[in-house]
A and B are shown apart, each in its own frame.
Chain A
Amino acid sequence: MEATTFERAPMIAITALRVLVGWHFLYEGLTKLTAPSWTAAGYLKQAKGPLAESFRWLTTRPDLLANADLITMWGLTIVGVCLILGLFTRLASLAGIGFILLFYLAAPPFIGYFYAIPSEGSYLIINKNLVELSALVVILLTRSGRFAGIDRIVHVVIRRRRPQLAGA
């Protein structure tokens, strides 16, 4: 098993970061789940940027759109819960990065783009999506779940059950 060395203070900070990002995802996911008939159609129709065509095409296929909506709603919720609890943190971080990347590409904040649904905080090429994305990258790379999260329990339990994984 690889060495997992954690420095206390930075890891606490990163755990806090993980919980906050997870909270955000969970909120986004739950509000969509509990809102009557939420659909991404509005955002997709106004997509701009390199993938705009594909996003718009998706709105013309209601069956695919329904699946995309489901994946988004549940995906955000599950990623949020996992991040807060520190469960399967790396997977969750990866999934989160994927979601944010899609959202970012659907509405890249380049100069000259205007959106009917106003997006918060656009700062030339960077926007809050990008900042959150990099937060997830940090969470991914530092395996915060192992430090303070259910992953820690899981990790220990696995190491118990498979002694051959221990060592080295």
Chain B
Amino acid sequence: MRADTPDLDGGIGLAGPRELGDLRRFSHEAMNTVFEVYAANADAHYAAQAAQAAFALVDRLEGELSRFRPNSDISRINHLTPGESARVGEAALECLLIARHLYDLTDGAFDVAIGTGLPSLEIDADTFLIRATGDGVLVDLGGIGKGYAVDLMAELLEDWGLDRAFVHAGFSSALALESPADCDGWPLTLSDPAERSRVLARLSMRQTALSASGVRKGDHILDPRTGTPVRGRQAAWVALPRPGAATPAGHGLRLAPAAVADALTTAFMVLRVEESAALCARSPGLEAWLLPDGASPGTAELIHFSGPAIAPAIDARETRDSGP
């Protein structure tokens, strides 16, 4: 078991002390990245079966949410003509509600339709019907979908009794459940995407979702509000605490901190520093790190924000009330 696991997409790393001897690690390719489950203090065979069930869940979600699957819910939405409706499943509805809530919250900086007109989609949370009032809306749940999958995987692992676990999707969306025995939290590192060996922060997290957004060489992130490439930001990280225990069954909309964190990191890549700070100040429990462009690679300074402490306010339940 390697002590330091390398970064994949984002600038998050899992730095394990060598004492995490019985850490079980399982990988699975889906959604164009690698999902991993780390289970601590667990029986190897049982953990393997649990991980397999979690990965089957991810595959099912990909089938419903990926715009690259011609018969997914999202593809169906992307092919609606004005006036036409499509009935979607739970996953698609919850992701769209979260997306819509964050679109409003960030004034369009986070836009799953990337400027093609997300507000023109009418979302009816009671009947699970999505109605297109305009033409040409193209929804891409790329970032938010992985976070959502991570949230659901975490719930499944808890169902299986694997409370001490860490789940991530390509390290750009991660969720720490309970920490391994004898540890206060999962040891995570944030590093400079331009210089991976440069560790910017060391965190110890439990029951928290952590998401990363970074610009790799040659990539451009477009600001959905203007259509122009974003400048001046190299990376953004967002941490959101996981609320209490899993919601009792039948309680209404699921809380999805990893999905929300995923969306927020994308938004923070686009928003100006002041706007990001303002958003953090309004959101209890939210913690964010921004890495602006430095003078030369490896010299940028990390900016850290945290919102007021205590209960999280950004959760999917709110999005249901504030639906269009």
Contact = CB atoms under 8 A, between A and B. Distances in A.
A and B touch in the complex (CB under 8 A): yes
Interface of A: 36-37, 62
Nearest to B135: A36
B136 A62 contact: no
B227 interface: yes
Contacts of B227: 62
4 closest A-B pairs by beta carbon, nearest first, are A36-B136, A36-B135, A62-B227, A62-B228
6 contacts: A36-B135, A36-B136, A37-B136, A62-B226, A62-B227, A62-B228
Contacts of A36: 135-136
B28 to A, nearest CB: 32
A36 B135 CA distance: 7
A62 B222 CA distance: 12
Interface string B121-162: 000000000000001100000000000000000000000000
Nearest to A37: B136
Contacts of B135: 36
A89 to B, nearest CB: 37
Interface string B225-264: 0111000000000000000000000000000000000000
Q: Is the interface of A mostly helix, strand, loop or mixed?
A: loop
Nearest to A63: B228
Nearest to B227: A62
A18 to B, nearest CB: 35
B294 to A, nearest CB: 24
A117 B4 CA distance: 46
Contacts of A62: 226-228
A62 B227 CA distance: 8
A127 B12 CA distance: 53
Contacts of B228: 62
A37 B134 CA distance: 12
A32 B262 CA distance: 37
Nearest to A66: B227
Contacts of B136: 36-37
A35 to B, nearest CB: 9
B34 to A, nearest CB: 29
A37 B135 CA distance: 10
A122 B240 CA distance: 57
A49 B208 CA distance: 53
Contacts of A37: 136
A36 B132 CA distance: 15
A37 B138 CA distance: 13
Nearest to B134: A36
B135 to A, nearest CB: 5
B223 to A, nearest CB: 11
A36 B228 CA distance: 20
A36 B115 CA distance: 13
A9 B135 CA distance: 48
A37 B113 CA distance: 14
B91 to A, nearest CB: 28
A148 B226 CA distance: 48
A37 B114 CA distance: 14
Interface in B251-291: none
Contacts of B226: 62
Nearest to B226: A62
Nearest to A65: B227
B107 to A, nearest CB: 20
Nearest to A62: B227
A37 B227 CA distance: 13
A66 to B, nearest CB: 10
A82 to B, nearest CB: 30
A37 to B, nearest CB: 6
Nearest to A61: B228
A37 B120 CA distance: 15
A37 B136 CA distance: 9
A22 to B, nearest CB: 29
